Amino acid sequence: MIYGVDIGGTKIEFACFDADLNKLESERLATPVDDYEMFIDTLAGLVENADRRHRCKGKVGIGMPGLIDAEGRSLSANIACANGKKVAESLAARLGHTIVIENDCRLFALSESRGGAGQGSRHVYGAVLGTGAAGGLVIEGRLYRGRQGIAGEYGHHPLPADLRKKYQLPLLRCGCGLLGCLETYITGPGLATLHRQLWGEEIEIPALVQRWRDGDPRALNTKAVHLDLLGAAFANLVMAHDPDIFVLGGGLSRIQEFYRDLPGAIENQLFPGFSAPPVVPPKFGDASGARGAALLALTSAPEQKIATDEN
């Protein structure tokens, strides 16, 4: 049995998979964000109950927002109590299981590369575009972590100077602490900020998308500027990694126009004669968190002993 645990800022999704990665069951609990002991207790309880139900000691993979540093420490703004803590180590000490942990956007990429929308491609870049912009590169089925686990943070590349000048965009302070990250304009909240900067209007994303589909000139302008910025972000990725495919995830991956328009926008920012790879929607989408965590456990944790009946 393999347990994939997707920890979000509000909910924990706990899913049990068989060795072929078929999801057998899943449950959701509220994430304790203020009390680390309660946070670990909640996770341990989910694992222990599942072990009891399945009469085994399952492998455990965890996905979390924020960075996991080389020492295994979480750096997460969403789950304050876990900030600076070694979550996998705490849980392993409590349970006696081997626990693997990774950033949730990297796990999205891993999940989509294996059995997902990137299946069959050697170099898959999974790019989550929702409240944040982060992703991961999977090379021949293996997640590329880099030296300290920050490979994949494409949202924190700087705004290109030419586009910033062309559209007179101010440099905004990003949540990461840097100034002028692409993330401040390309994510869901970033798209709303962009529209406000360009037109002085507050708007929710579904309403903005509806307005550009209805042909509203202001909304269409915001869409065009956003596409230019997104094209630049992905062109950076092409120049760094030259992936075979981009799989989009997160809330903005539901905007169908990206799949048609983004390759051209990427090529506008590349050298002449070089092409953008296909940009495709996810197969698993939001379910990729738990599935990717299970995949990580399946591929990196050593075999666990099967517990005997008296357990």
Which residue ranges make up the site for Zn ion (CB under 5 A)? 156, 174, 176, 178, 181
Nearest CB to Zn ion, comparing residues 174 and 298: 174
Strands (E), 98-215: 99-103, 123-129, 133-139, 142-144
Give the closest residue to 48 by CA, choosing from 94, 13, 86, 103: 94
Nearest CB to Zn ion, comparing residues 85 and 156: 156
Q: How far is the CB of 171 from Zn ion (least distance, A)?
A: 11
Report the Cα 135 to chain-centroid distance in Å: 5
Q: How far is the CB of 138 from Zn ion (least distance, A)?
A: 23
Q: How far is the CB of 175 from Zn ion (least distance, A)?
A: 6
Nearest CB to Zn ion, comparing residues 83 and 299: 83
Q: How far is the CB of 297 from Zn ion (least distance, A)?
A: 30
Contacts 24+ apart (CB under 8 A), 19-26: 19/298, 21/115, 21/291, 21/294, 21/295, 21/298, 23/287, 23/290, 23/291, 26/290
Give the closest residue to 2 by CA, choosing from 22, 14, 17, 23: 17
Nearest CB to Zn ion, comparing residues 73 and 156: 156
Nearest CB to Zn ion, comparing residues 59 and 156: 156
Q: How far is the CB of 191 from Zn ion (least distance, A)?
A: 16
Hey, what are 11's tokens?
A: 């909910």
